[in-house]
Amino acid sequence: MSASVGTAASSAPQTFLAFDFGVRRTGVAVGSRLLGQASAQATIRAEGMERLRLARERVAEWQPDALVVGIPFHPDGAPHEMTARARRFARQLHAGTGLAVFEVDERYSTTEARAAGAADPDAAAACIILEQFLRELA
């Protein structure tokens, strides 16, 4: 878990909305610190500004305390093009919502979701990312 993009609220965030950023599909999950679990939500199937608009709609719907965005890296930890794109998405979410956005290394989350036979691997990957984040908070 890396530092948040935004400034954390005065009290520790309790509810989170997580995103597994993708160019065409962005997985979404919601979860709480209390339960330490995440629930998959419908994947956002849009690109560019439409993806951002739909993500902000999810934030308005769920009203989380903070956001979590999975940041992809190569297996050796080196950044690549998608690393920069996911970080830009995280910055845009912060600017559009004012919420703290926590970045989580999401290597292998989609692979893990597919291996588990998830019907929606993008949403399942968002759950994996959020549950990893929640474990690190404990």
pLDDT of res. 91: 97
Alpha carbon separation from 53 to 21, 47, 49, 100, 116 (Å, rounded): 14, 10, 6, 18, 30
Rg (CA), the chain: 13
pLDDT digits (tens, 9 = 90+) for 64-113: 999 999 999 999 999 999 999 999 999 999 999 999 999 999 998 988 99
Range of lowest pLDDT (4-18, 38-52, 58-72, 99-113) = 4-18
| Tokens found for residue 98 | 């004012």
For residue 10, the Cα-to-chain-centroid distance in whole angstroms is 22
* Amino acid making up residue 129: I
* Contacts for 83 with CB less than 8 Å, ≥ 6 apart: 71, 72, 73
For CA atoms 43, 48, 50, 54, the dihedral sign is positive
- 137, 133, 114: which is closest to 29 by C-alpha? 133
| Tokens found for residue 81 | 């093009």
Residue 11, pLDDT > 80, answer no
CA–CA gap between residue 113 and residue 131 (Å, rounded): 13
pLDDT of res. 47: 92
Query: What residue ranges define each of the domains in the chain, with the CATH number in brackets?
Result: 15-137 (3.30.420.140)
Collapsing DSSP states into helix, strand and coil, what is residue 59? Answer: helix
pLDDT of res. 8: 41
Residue 6, pLDDT > 60, answer no
High-pLDDT (> 70) share of the chain, %: 92
pLDDT of res. 108: 87
Range of lowest pLDDT (3-12, 14-23, 77-86) = 3-12
- The DSSP output letter for 120 is S
